[in-house]
Chains A and B, each alone.
Chain A
């Protein structure tokens, strides 16, 4: 990202005056550009910055008649409840573990797909399979909800149809929490594999073909070429994507979890993540204070993770830093 804010707030008085003068000059010469930024500024102010004020809800027993400042203040009560009920730990563990599994499995599968696709000679085969693998990305999560139900429904699901036809006992997936962590990862992969493959394919395409030609002349097999040329050259892309996803390690795949699991309480212990919990506390329990508290915890936790990662990267690989 391009945020270089190094010059902000160094020495106080004279700098500020200079700053003010510069701003006025800039405003004069580029008045129209400032005006053109107004819509975006307004959007991000209302949609992203103004809600930060509402963090205050986390410290109140919110009621709708009181609003922002009329509701009774209750200090850390909401956080204490979340902590003592053990919810916070469970949600944090679920959110982070799922994200790690998504990131690792996702990237590995995407890299494998990209490498295989790049080596496939048949042009039509390659184009068609790549399109097919990218297709699920375009399908909404509501449709995924339908698909999962079709596959795993106890009575009419495809899986139990197959099991019954070979004489086995039907499997009640929706009441077996243990299988869901694996299933969720599979659903995620189904939806996202095409997207990441595009990124890695682009990187592979930019590799100098002479490298492969030279390796071939030296007698390297396809496997060796992949092992010693493609994989090492994909590594920087992999690291960049990894760092990006680390930044959102506390942001769960809300759409995926909410649509697939829905309000099936049996599965909450293994499938509830921060985002689904916040949504339900708001929509079903109307507990604004509590859900804001959970959301604030999530935001701050995520923020700290990003800051720490970014500082560490800046020290070792400054060119890869996020900002």
Chain B
């Protein structure tokens, strides 16, 4: 991204360059606006009073600012806090475990002296070509391994992906010369010891990239919860929001209230969206470059 056309000052004067610049700047500005627009709508909705929202509909800039929705949302914060807590827990545990196991696997698979590296790589890759489908997998985990209403069901399936393992392998083989491993072996270090004290410390950027992909998957997880979790107290953050949306829409369509559960207003839902997505948006500027690095490397070698 650093290299644009290096001699831009020289070419800027020709009419075709001017025309191009006008097109490029306006097209990119327009696309960025389209990308940002729906998110602004959500934030603006969360700062609008529910009654105003129902009367005027969604607007880009609220006619009157109000933090009622947030106050209402946090009147009974137990549910959100619990969902937040369990999601943070699953994200941390899953990311740490996944990182450890995937970097270990990636390390073994890039060892040139390990005869079976290509065969194991293929067995991992094969899972992306053929599988039993979602239903047998679901039956196995729920009926045979009894993972219903267990946090294991929210952590285990996302631990590893072939893409991330291969990414990790590429990171390790490019940042950790085989000669280092060689000399450590001669000094009498075992393979696991080499991995822990030599390889892990020098693949920081790789760990960050893969870790962030993992963390994003855990943070945005709703699918596993929808399949395995029925206990409302164990909902992930995204599924908690999903459940809130669904129950209120259902009630709206039927024109009734759902038992003792109060119907959340539109603006409260928007406030909830902001609360759920806030950490990602906040961290986004700092972590973006790691994703870019990962995608770039993954696409070249993948």
Contacts and interface: CB of A to CB of B under 8 A. Distances in A.
A89 interface: no
A288 B12 CA distance: 64
A134 B118 CA distance: 34
B116 to A, nearest CB: 7
Interface in A10-39: 22, 26, 30, 32-33, 35-37, 39
Nearest to B45: A150
Given A2-B122, A47-B137, A129 B29 contact: yes
A261 interface: no
Contacts of B256: none
Q: Which of A41, A51, A160, A288 has the most CB of B within 10 A?
A: A51
B100 to A, nearest CB: 8
A48 to B, nearest CB: 4
Interface in B108-122: 108, 111, 113-122
Contacts of A26: 114-116
A82 B299 CA distance: 38
Interface string B103-136: 0110110010111111111111111111111111
B159 A43 contact: yes
Contact of A138 (B28, B137, B166, B216): B216
Interface in B138-177: 138-140, 143, 145, 156-157, 159-160, 165-166
Interface string A137-167: 0111111011101110001111011001000
Bin chain A's interface residue count. 35 or more
A214 to B, nearest CB: 11
Interface stretch (B14-22, B74-82, B200-208): B14-22
B122 A288 contact: no
A120 interface: yes
A195 B139 CA distance: 34
Contacts of B226: 283
A54 B132 contact: yes
A213 B285 contact: no
Nearest to A205: B3
B4 A48 contact: no
Interface stretch (A91-99, A177-185, A298-306, A313-321): A298-306
A193 B137 CA distance: 31
A41 B53 CA distance: 53
Interface centre among B1, B54, B288 (most CB of A within 10 A): B1
Contacts of A175: none
B173 to A, nearest CB: 11
A138 B212 CA distance: 11
A303 B127 CA distance: 11
B134 A279 contact: yes
A57 B135 contact: yes
A168 interface: no
A48 B139 CA distance: 13
Contacts of B121: 1-3
B60 to A, nearest CB: 8
Nearest to A55: B132
20 contacts: A2-B118, A3-B122, A32-B191, A39-B104, A39-B105, A40-B160, A43-B101, A44-B124, A48-B131, A50-B140, A128-B32, A140-B220, A143-B241, A143-B276, A150-B38, A199-B299, A205-B1, A222-B17, A283-B226, A296-B132
